[in-house]
Amino acid sequence: GQNIDQPTEMTATEGAIVQINCTYQTSGFNGLFWYQQHAGEAPTFLSYNVLDGLEEKGRFSSFLSRSKGYSYLLLKELQMKDSASYLCASMDSNYQLIWGAGTKLIIKP
């Protein structure tokens, strides 16, 4: 079956660094996606990895290891506005996104 696993909730301190892990198992693979979703709002696209390695975009970076079925999202210099849920999704062989349940990130001052 297809499955995406990510922690339910994480807590971090303002100004610190946090890494949100995601493991995936899908029928085929056409990319790994991270979205941010603030409470009561729509998800917004953060990053896309299709090749192994690290993609950096400002304070956010995303890593992919296809051989391990593993990705992480790294958030640096955390700000209070980063409090949100972070959704991991894998694109399968039919180009459909399979979504994890999301990781709720709580930032404390």
Partner 1 sequence: IAGITQAPTSQILAAGRRMTLRCTQDMRHNAMYWYRQDLGLGLRLIHYSNTAGTTGKGEVPDGYSVSRANTDDFPLTLASAVPSQTSVYFCASSDEYSGGTPGELFFGEGSRLTVL
- C-beta of 7: minimal distance to partner 1 in Å? 13
Residue nearer to partner 1 on the CB measure, 13 or 44: 44
- C-beta of 57: minimal distance to partner 1 in Å? 13
Residue nearer to partner 1 on the CB measure, 78 or 98: 98
Q: On the CB side of 37, how many CA atoms lie within 13 Å of its CA?
A: 17
Measured CA distances, 30 to 7, 22, 71 (Å): 23, 16, 14
The footprint of partner 1 (CB under 8 A) covers: 4, 30-31, 33, 35, 41-45, 48, 87, 89, 91, 95-102
Asked if 81 and 88 count as a contact pair (C-beta separation under 8 A), the reply is no
Residue 101: count of CB within 10 angstroms of its CB: 13
Residue nearer to partner 1 on the CB measure, 67 or 95: 95
